Amino acid sequence: MNKKTKGFIYNFIGFAVFFFATRYLVVSYTHLEGFWIPFTAFVVSTILAPKFQTVKTKDGEKLFMSWIFTKGLKEIK
């Protein structure tokens, strides 16, 4: 599998996990209605989800992860 495709899939899965968890918590514990439920889940998920990016180096393409809960970049093999 291409590293760019793998990065895209990881970004999607990471966002989806945080989106559905946040959406459930917003529905359960707040009084928000309508458009504000998915909007709030989207904003929180965008901030909390890890970001994956592919970078071309002299050694080939590498996949890196950046996350608010970790320090610096982590290389994904």
Q: What is the pLDDT of residues 13-64, one digit of tens each?
A: 999 999 999 999 999 999 999 999 999 999 999 999 999 999 998 988 999 9
pLDDT at 1 over 90: no
* Tokens 């290389």 sit on residue: 75
Q: What local confidence, expressed as pLDDT, does residue 5 receive?
A: 94
* Contact assessment for residue 23 and residue 41, using Cβ atoms and an 8 Å cutoff: yes
pLDDT at 77 over 90: no
Report the residue count for the chain.
Answer: 77
What does pTM read for this prediction? 0.88
